[in-house]
Structure 1
C-alpha cells in the first residue's frame, strides 16, 4: 500500500483519538483499549514500510499518549509502588527481553571460560581471586571451616557493608552502558569469570558442596541481579547505537529511563541478598543442609519468575504479544 493510501485509510481513526485525548469525545475503557491497539498496529506497519516518513513520529507520539490514556486509571487505582514493580517493570522486561537473554548468554559463556581456565592453569585462580584470598581460604579449609570468611564482623555491620558494595557494583554495571555498552560488557565478563573461578577453586579443594550450600544462599539474588543490571547497561548502549526511527538523543533518553527502571527493580533483591549474607550465610554450616538448599531454591524460583515469567503474564494482560 502506498503511503498516501495508508494515511487516507487511517486518518479518521487518528483524528478520532486526537479528539479523545483532548476530551472532545468520550470513550469507554474497552473502546480506548481497542483504539490503542489499532494505533500500535498502524505504528508497526508504518515503521516497516515508511520508516523515513513523518507519519512514524506522529504515530509514535499518538501511541505513547494512548498508552497513558488507557492505563492511567489503572495507575491511579493501584498503589504506585506496586504498579511500578508489578506492571511497569515487567512490561519493560518484556519489551527488552532480548537484552536480558543476551546478558545471561554472555554470563554463561564466560562462566565456562572461567571454569576451563581454572582447570587448565593452576595459577589462574590466584590471578583472579588474589593470593591473599586464596591463602586465607586454604587455611580455613584446613581448619574445617570452609566459609569462615563470611563470619567476620557483626551481622548488622556485614549486612550494611555488603549491601552498599553490591549496590555500588550494580550501579557501575548499569552506568557503564553509557560507554555504548562496552563498559558493561567488560564488567560482566570479569564478574562471570570470577564467579566461575570461585566455584572451580572450591571444587579443586573438594569443598564444592560446602561452598554451594553457603555462597548461593545470598549469591542467587546477588548474581542474578548483577546479570539484570548488565542487561540494563546493554539497553543504554543499544539506545545510543541503534536509535531506529527516533532522533539519537530521544532514543538515548528513552533507553536511559527504561534501563534505570529495570536497574531499580534489582535493588530489593540486592537488599535481601545483603541481609542473607549478613545474617544467614554465616550459619550455613550449622543449619540442616536441606534448609540451605530450600533457601537457594526459593530465591532462584522467585527471581526467575519475576524476570522471566511475570513479564509475559503482564504483557498478555495488557494486550501485548
Structure 2
C-alpha cells in the first residue's frame, strides 16, 4: 500500500485519537487499550514500509502518548482504590457513627430477647432455629461433638456457600432500609434473636463457653459486619425520613449511595469470616490460646477500622 493511501485511510482515526488524548477524563481504560492496539498495528506497518517517513515519526510519538496515558490511568485507578479504603470509607463510618450505635443497640437488645426467651421457653429455639437444626444439635451433643455442624461439608463448598449467603444477608439488611429503616431493624432483630437463642440452647447443656469460643472465631467478623450493614440500611432509611434541606429524592439518592459504599466495604470482611468458618472453625479442639488469639485479633480489627481509625482521621 502506498503511503498516501495509508494516510488517507487512517488519518481520520489518528485525529480522533488526538482529540481523545486532549480529554483524558472522557477516555476509559478499555477505549485507551483498543486505541493503543490499533496504533501499534499502524506503527508496525509504517515502520516496515515507510521507516524514515514523517508518518512513522508521527505515529511513534502518538503511540508513546497513548502508552503514557494508559500508565497514568493505571496509577490513578490504584490511587482511587487506596483512597477509598484509607479515607473515604472510614470517613463514612465516622459520619454515620450514630447509626452504627443504633444498629448495634438493636442487635444487642434482640440478642438479649433471644437468650431470655430460650431460657424461659424450651421450645423457643425450635421456633427460631427449626426442629431439624435443634434435633441435629442435640444429637451432636449426645455424641460428644456439639459443634459437629461445622465439620459436615467440604471446606471449599462451605466457604463459597457461607460467603455468598453472608454477602446476600448484608445487602438485604441495607436494601431493607428503603422501608423507612423498618425492614433493616427487623432483620437486625431476627439475627440478634437467632444468635441469642442459639447460645442459650447450648448454655442449657453447660456448653456456653465452648460455643462462644467456637462460634466467635468467625462470628466476631460476621456479626459485626451484619450490624454495620444494618447501619448502612438505616443511613438510607433516614435519607427518606429526614431529607433536611434537600428534596426527598435528592436526599434518598445521596444516602443510598453512602449506604451502598458502607455495605460494599464489608465484602472483604465477609470473605475472611467465610474462610474462618469453613477452614478454621471446624477444628473445635484447637488450643484455647489460639481461639482467643483469633477472636481478639478480629475484635481489635473491627474496633480499629470502624471506630478508632475513623476518629483518628477527623483529628
Query: TM-score, normalized by length of structure 1?
Result: 0.73
**SS of the counterpart of 1:144?**
coil
Distance in 1 separating the partners of 2:284 and 2:313: 36
Distance in 1 separating the partners of 2:121 and 2:259: 38
Q: Which residue of 2 aligns with 1:303?
A: 302
Displacement after TM superposition at 1:288 (Å): 0.7
Q: Which residue of 1 aligns with 2:92?
A: 92
Distance in 1 separating the partners of 2:231 and 2:81: 22
Q: Which residue of 1 aligns with 2:178?
A: 178
Contact 1:155 1:278 in 2 (8 A): yes
Q: Which residue of 1 aligns with 2:283?
A: 283
Contact 1:217 1:292 in 2 (8 A): yes
Give a deviation string over 1:131-190, Cα, whole Å, max 9, x none.
111110011011111110111121111111110111111111111011111111111111
**SS of the counterpart of 2:265?**
helix
Distance in 1 separating the partners of 2:220 and 2:232: 19
Distance in 2 separating the partners of 1:89 and 1:138: 43
Distance in 2 separating the partners of 1:279 and 1:79: 33
**SS of the counterpart of 2:113?**
helix
Matched, 1:137 2:137: yes
Q: How does 1:47-58 map to 2 (within 5 A)?
A: none
Distance in 1 separating the partners of 2:94 and 2:298: 21
Q: How does 1:24-35 map to 2 (within 5 A)?
A: none
Q: Which residue of 2 aligns with 1:152?
A: 152
Matched, 1:315 2:314: yes
Q: Which residue of 2 aligns with 1:203?
A: 203
Distance in 1 separating the partners of 2:76 and 2:280: 39
Contact 1:177 1:234 in 2 (8 A): yes
Distance in 1 separating the partners of 2:136 and 2:77: 55
Give a deviation string over 1:95-146, Cα, whole Å, max 9, x none.
1111001101111111111111111111111111111111100110111111
- Which ranges of 4 or more aligned residues in structure 1 deviate by more than 4 Å? 75-78
Distance in 2 separating the partners of 1:94 and 1:295: 26
Matched, 1:168 2:195: no
Give a deviation string over 1:210-242, Cα, whole Å, max 9, x none.
211211101110000000000000001000010
Distance in 1 separating the partners of 2:217 and 2:277: 7
Distance in 1 separating the partners of 2:128 and 2:265: 30
**SS of the counterpart of 2:282?**
helix
Distance in 1 separating the partners of 2:129 and 2:89: 35
The structure with the larger Rg is 2
Distance in 1 separating the partners of 2:246 and 2:106: 28
Distance in 1 separating the partners of 2:225 and 2:77: 29
How large is the RMSD of aligned CA atoms in angstroms?
Answer: 1.4
Q: Which residue of 1 aligns with 2:260?
A: 260
Q: Which residue of 1 aligns with 2:52?
A: none
Q: Which residue of 2 aligns with 1:105?
A: 105
Unaligned runs of 5+ in 2: 1-74
Unaligned runs of 5+ in 1: 1-74, 317-321
Distance in 1 separating the partners of 2:168 and 2:240: 24
Distance in 2 separating the partners of 1:96 and 1:248: 19
Distance in 2 separating the partners of 1:113 and 1:248: 35
Contact 1:284 1:292 in 2 (8 A): no
